[in-house]
Amino acid sequence: MQKAAKITSKGQITVPHEIRRALGVGPGDKLLFEQKKSGEIRVVPIRHESPFAKWRGIMSLNIGPGKDDVIRVVRELRGE
């Protein structure tokens, strides 16, 4: 995929919609620009936390962080 973006006088660009979608980024997210030895520039999203972190603690159940804890609680909810 190739998309073009224009640089403003302040050095800002608007990342095209298709690129934002491919990177999985939105407003407020940060991008890292890496220059390789070959001179190629790579753009990658900066991810500091899990995409599921915003859902952590959404339920008042006592669920631990591991898979086994999640399975245990689901089974309890099902009455198993």
Domains of the chain, each with CATH number or no CATH: 1-48 (2.10.260.10), 49-80 (no CATH)
Please tell me which residue, 56 or 16, carries the higher pLDDT value.
16
Summarised one tens digit per residue, pLDDT across range 64-79 is 778 888 888 888 889 8
Among residues 24, 42, 25, the alpha carbon closest in space to that of 33 is found at 42
Summarised one tens digit per residue, pLDDT across range 5-30 is 999 999 999 999 999 999 999 998 99
Residue 7 and residue 10: Cα distance in Å, rounded? 8
Strand partners, 34: 42
